[in-house]
């Protein structure tokens, strides 16, 4: 289910930068530094409003609510790369997420996760850190407090999955 990446004690990261050193835009277009999440464990998810996995929004919100007080955040990046399942505007996405799933975790501007010249720097860095890119909507990266990818979870792994929950608890410990 997950591809865990071993990080030996004292290991220095030679390539790539911390995810938390990057800047992007909120869903509604305001510039934001991912440095706001430095020191937190994050679950970065490429989300879509018209996917068979879209009901995972409810579990992601529950996970965010349960663990945010312990230094955890879900970070959602809408993506239209797979099956054109996120065709809406930023306002459409915000409205859908708010009204259908009461999403309050951070949502960022729609991105391209697939490799190539249009790929988001966020996903380029997640790939450098994990060796994995999502092959569909709702791929999940567990990111440590320093902004390095610890594990990648396939879209079929739900937010309630015991292995995902265990990995998050380990990262928070």
Across all residues in the chain, what is the average pLDDT? 90
Residue 79 among the catalytic residues: no
- In tens, the pLDDT along 93-129 reads 999 999 999 999 999 999 999 999 999 999 999 998 8
Domain boundaries, the chain: 17-172
This prediction has a pTM of 0.89
Per-residue pLDDT band at 16 (split at 50, 70, 90): low
pLDDT above 90 covers a percentage of the chain that reads 87
- Sheet of 2-4: strand order equals 2-4, 149-153, 140-143, 41-47, 72-78
- Asked if 38 contacts 20 with a C-beta cutoff of 8 angstroms, the reply is yes
The residue annotated as part of the active site, out of 24, 51, 79, 97, is 51
Question: What is residue 161's predicted lDDT score, i.e. its pLDDT?
Answer: 96
CATH code given to domain 17-172? 3.40.30.10
Query: Could you read off the pLDDT of 3-12 as tens digits, one per residue?
Result: 433 332 332 3
């Amino acid at each position: 289910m997950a591809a865990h990446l071993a990080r030996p004690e004292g290991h220095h990261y030679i390539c790539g930068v911390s995810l938390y050193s990057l800047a992007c835009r909120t869903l509604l277009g305001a510039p934001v530094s991912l440095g706001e999440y430095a020191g937190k464990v994050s679950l970065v998810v490429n989300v879509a409003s018209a996917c068979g996995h879209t009901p995972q929004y409810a579990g992601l919100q529950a996970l965010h609510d349960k663990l945010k007080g312990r230094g955890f955040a879900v970070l959602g990046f809408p993506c239209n790369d797979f099956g054109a399942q996120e065709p809406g505007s930023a306002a459409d996405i915000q409205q859908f997420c708010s009204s259908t799933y009461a999403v309050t975790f951070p949502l960022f501007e729609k991105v391209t996760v697939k490799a190539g010249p249009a790929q988001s720097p966020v996903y380029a860095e997640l790939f450098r850190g994990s060796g994995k890119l999502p092959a569909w909507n709702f791929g999940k990266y567990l990111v440590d407090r320093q902004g390095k990818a610890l594990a990648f979870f396939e879209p079929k792994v739900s937010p309630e999955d015991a292995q995902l929950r265990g990995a998050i608890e380990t990262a928070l410990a």
